[in-house]
Structure 1
Amino acid sequence: MPYKLSATLQSHSSDVRAVRSPTNDLVLSASRDTTAISWQRQSGSSLFAPETVFRPGSRYVNAVAYLPPTAESSKGYVVTGGQEAIINIFSLSNPKDDPDFTLLGHSENICALDVSAGGAIISGSWDRTAKVWKDFSLAYELKGHEQSVWAVLAIDEEQALTASADKTIKLWMRQKLVHTYTGHQDAVRGLALIPDLGFASCSNDSEIRVWTFGGDIIYSLSGHTSFVYSLSVLPNGDIVSGGEDRSVRIWKDGECSQVLIHPAISVWAVSTMPNGDIVTGCSDGVVRIFSGSEERWATAADLKEYEDQVANQALPSQQIGDIKKSDLPGLEALNEPGKKAGDYKMVKNGDKVEYHQWDAVSYTWQKIGDVVDAVGQNRKQLYQGKEYDYVFDVEMDDKRSLKLPYNANENPYAAAERFLQSNDLPMHHIDEVAGFIEKNTSGVNLGSGSEEYVDPFTGKLSGPASVPTGSTAPSSTYVDPFTGHSRYTTASSISGATPSVNTQPSSQPPAPSTSKLIPMANPSLFKQVSVPRMRDKIFQFDEHLRNEISTSSLAMYPEETNSFETIFVYVASVLDNTAASLPTVADIDAVIQVLERWPSGTRFPIIDLARLITAFCPSTFEATSGLRSRFFSTLFKAAEWDMPWTPPIPKARETNIMIVLRAVANVFQDGVDLDGTWLAEIFQALEQMPFEALVKSQRLALATILFNMSSVSLRKAFEPQLRNQHLDLSLRVLRGESEDSQTTYRTLAGLGNVLYAARSKGPALESTQLQSIIEGISAVPPGFRQDIEGLALEVQSLL
């Protein structure tokens, strides 16, 4: 008989990350809602009801196990582990608020638990260890994995298996490593014992492998289209797997015999009952039971409702792959049967694209959702009389369904704030709601390219920068994009002195200076920072990545965390005039490695840390040839430099570009000897940017680069080709800038330095270049004349 839905267990309010079903009448579940629940079958029914809700702590519960009955607890115990790195053990016979036993020893999230037949507990953690506990005390540690231990399996009282994000599985005899199994191409997520044969493993590489204990692979099971998170084995020996592709698959004799699609993004956990029923835990917070026995199937009405839930799922096209609607067949294609369980077809049904999967048991195509494109199938949706690109349904803890409207050119935080205010919800959920919007609108350009943008550390909106007029010096007043608070004003020179807070722009501009301005030898560096705020944001993002199973492999390793801490301590010491160790090449390498693998939406604080590294650690780059080139190559890639520059540029990318430009500007300072090869790479990157696509903060950063380059050229003259590139780029800025006199001022100061160096050190500029400079100065808007008059006259005198 095929497996069909038997029961739906609803009480959790967030993802169910682990399930266990030790008897036909008991189900245990653990959830991100900070609870674990024991569910008891109702007498004479296939239905279950929550018996006890356990609250081990205030953070996610990610693992659950069952301890058999003892004299003290006739129903046994529930064992939980999670983010608090504590194992809590509660009696099922006499449940209390506080655990009966607490096991301490792990230092990071506990993500795996198992129990041997004799009652030994095995735990796996992000701290890269597994631990064996007997009689509620630590018996020994299993150390050897290089990354998080994602799965543990008790073979008997002496032997255990552990699986890790380092792609390996290890067999232990007590605390002694006996064998290491290699072959998976990504993190190994689940383990299951195959009686009289060996064991099975599943991985983020979407493969399931069946092994002998000697290390031979008996066979591999392919069919899942994404990460496979969990495995269990039925009493008849069939394997059950669940994963990120919304499916549970049943494998018989090496072939997929049935696919159970879920109306959720992830099937985090699977378990099997002694009677052969299958229990699943999903990202929608629901525990479901499926049975192969008709007498335990849900009612026909409930089965139809469940099928409709599955069929009505919206599948983003980026999750399915590239599709061209005109090439798809119509519904008639469903008359042709599939070849095996799990085969799929996409067909046109009017204006919709439907996704169907072949059910080999019922010998029919099962609709599992409508494929939607990036922006609401290219049609606006109405909400309260207004049109939006998206209108999301948001399920609340109290079972209300609220509407979240959003347009693709909005800032996610603005939409989140509007949603929370209109529904009288706490504002501390703003990060969560904004993250939901960003996750479900991937690939959409967010933002209009205007000067208003989100502070990357607080998520608050900052208004356009204001620049006081009438100053011959490059005083720059702007809203600090990293704190969202006061505007900063630099001192009345281009020396980059430490800024002072100024909440009001000057009402009376200073009189034009008559003193000699050129040469300006002191570079202007972007050193403003709140180290605690930057550190908190980076580690907040790291924790978020670590807590999501699909992104946990991207989180920092302990040695990388140490490198970041070293950099933070050093920068703080420079600002406080105290002593600390200079970051090493290895520390900078750690920043490169994290930046290379983190998602684009979380990169900005690391890019900003790179800005500080270039400002405060210039000597570290001199220690290894090619380090600076590799560092900036990574920064440009992180800011998506090779993506189209057509406005509107997404706000996240816009911010990243601005910070990278500031990092480049910080390289050019006293004592730094720059090689021509790296400078050529920088010019090549800068020349990619269409000036008209840049916002004010980016244009000012570009002008600062040109100025700082010129200040370095006063000490060591540019090679002719590099000087020509500097001149061409400077003239582009002069001709293109029409809003910000500060950008024009810094660019003109840079040209003055180049002219001064040409006159004092040579070689002289060509007459055509001198004429181009004259034309560039004449292109400056008349409204800037008072601001730059003294400098412009001095530059012209050098021609």
Structure 2
Amino acid sequence: MPYKLSATLSSHTSDVRALSTPTNDLILSASRDTTAISWQRPSPEAQFKPETVLRAGSRYVNSVTYIPPTPDASKGYAVTGGQDTVINVFSLSSPKDDPDFTLLGHTENVCALHATAGGTIISGSWDRTAKVWKNFSLAYDLKGHEQSVWAVLAIDEDQFLTGSADKSIKLWQQHKTINTFERHKDAVRGLALVPDIGFVSCSNDSEIIVWTFGGDLVYTLSGHTSFVYSLSVLPSGDIVSAGEDRSVRVWKDGECAQTIVHPAISVWAVSTMPNGDIVSGCSDGIVRIFSESEARWASESSLKAYDDQVASQALPSQQVGDVKKSDLPGPEALTTPGKKSGEVKMIKNGDLVEAHQWDSVNFTWQKIGDVVDAVGQGRKQLYQGKEYDYVFDVDIQDGVPPLKLPYNVSENPYSAAQRFLESNDLPLTYLDEVVRFIEKNTAGVNIGTGGEEYVDPYTGASRYRSSASSVPTSAPASGYMDPYTGASRYTATPQTSAPSAPSSAYMDPFTGASRYTGTPQPAVPAPAAKILPVSKPATFKQANVTAMQGKLFQFNEALQHEISTSSFAMYPDEISAIDEAFNYLSQITATPPRHPSNSLSSAHVDAIIQILDRWPPSQRFPVIDLSRLLVGFCPDAFNAQDVKNRFLEALFKAGEWTTPWTLPLSKPRETNILLLLRTLANAFQEGTPIDGTWVAQAFEALSQVPYTSLNKTQRVALATVLFNVSCLTLRTPLEVAPRNQLLALLLRILESESADSEAVYRALVGLGNVVYATKASGPTLVASQIGEISQCIQALPNSFSEERVRTVTAEIGALL
């Protein structure tokens, strides 16, 4: 179940900066209104009420923690810290105006507190130290950080973690440093224990990192678009985070499972209860509780009021990326599903610019506010201590931390591209594609335009659309998209003004940090790179296994509950096989990947074939998407010739391949065709044998489709299929008949395509590979084929003047 609002607690008059939720019936909140509040409820059915207001100081109260009951305090203690530099300890069983204990020693703001079950307290301060207190007396001074200590965590009575604005985390045994963790690029703001693994940290660099205590990085969670201030861990082990992008995010198995947008500028604090509820504290002074249990959800009217409040917020344009209002799509763009939880789409609704966020749990767009000042603004981005006009977030693959691609409009894009490739140890053969990406995105990224789609410079893949989000559309694109995963990060802020325009980027009010920090590699003049041959196929293996699984079983349940369709629903043995397939994929796509002990077999493929044969067209797409991943990650299950032949037959049938191609195609059919082609592209990956009747079967089917009936994303996918086959021919030459089929298909794309350079480029490289392979190992081309190829490559540069097209056509001409 998704998390939904359960309760709203309003008593603070300023930002809620810290929370502690030790039991299901107690919440401690600390605020800049100079108070801390103990919220309690007498029973699970009752509402939380402010039982005690603790006058914890005369200035901001920025931290709070809890000590469990002792003989002297039957309800335990609330511990607070703030700008007064003192730590106050209040008994909750007999609260009074004056604290029971006052701990003195810090010289600046006490911004972090944590306590153990035994009553040991650790505090962090702007004075660059952390302190450990036992029996309400100073036990250790933890000195070693070079800047403010923003986060503290007591592992046990003698081991502690501290996180600092100096970007480091230190592990202490009593007062001695035993390990230092350095990976974050900006101030470390939060720490939490992760059972059976180690701990998790968050930072102003927008990243969340899970570590072992030995210093190994387990995985990184990327998705927040600004500073991440606070972390907590659910009883299930799932991670919850909160930050400057107004959101609380729930992370399951390394993926963002839900984004909860708040009607506030900042979500300063997040904490979790033993029952799994999530509590947040915001800049609007409100404490909110969210629950996964439907029994604890607020009333329908309260939920609607909350959604309306979120939708009515005014968002600064710099918070969601630059907007050119005239280029935005209308409300009809919201009929296209999103690609991942948290994606933001902007539309023009009359004279207003609205921001909507994709809710992958409820499979709907949620309005999160009205965008104000929606014009391009000149501002710089900081990266590694230097200013850039653009800093793009680049995801190489799901679950892997994004790479930063900094660029100034005044520099040579080839130098920036080479610096990016070399600093990230990526092949220079992708130089032209990175340059093309830079040129596209710095020519003016207009959110909502229907222009060229960004492409992956490494695989050539267009925007990935997982499950329902794979629905291709002719509607305009919706916002800056990451060229690798399609994620809407809005971290690249293209500008139209001169590079010297004054900066207006948001700064952390406490650390002074901008969103991006740390030293670009020195630029090196770009060497000329030869493109042909290209031997590595491009696969579509991006995976949101959880979302795909949820959608498939949602459809199955819908089929079960209708008398007219109940016979289509999955049988028990099919459910078992599909569950095993998803379990396998969940492990193999995890970060880091886990290698399942049991591999999948032809029985799992048979289950998919049977479901594809029965299910209605509108509900096939998650099954085809599952096929795409199984072909990509478990090709051995398809090894048997008869299995592969039957699977291809079922796949093309699911795409209604023999149905007349009358335009416009229905949306379900468009989706199924796109996923079919991506599945087929994965079938031709490295190591795939290309002998047997299945290759001819695939070529024969592909030759039947009128090329002009395919939309842009489908054309790119088709070109990728053929390109992948061409890569395999470099190692295993095709017989004359299938080779000629491949050539004919490639030439048809090159001769028919008039607008999409990406489909042309992939087909052109595929053609170059085939010509290269025939020169190396035969069979040789006949004169008529050479003539048609020559005529084609002479004409292409007239229609597609890109450097990469001219380069490949020249290389093919030289081979001929």
Instruction: Please report the TM-score for the alignment, with normalisation by the length of structure 2.
Output: 0.46
Instruction: Please report the TM-score for the alignment, with normalisation by the length of structure 1.
Output: 0.47
Whose RCO is larger (CA < 8 A, sep 6+)?
A: 2
- CA radius of gyration, larger in: 1
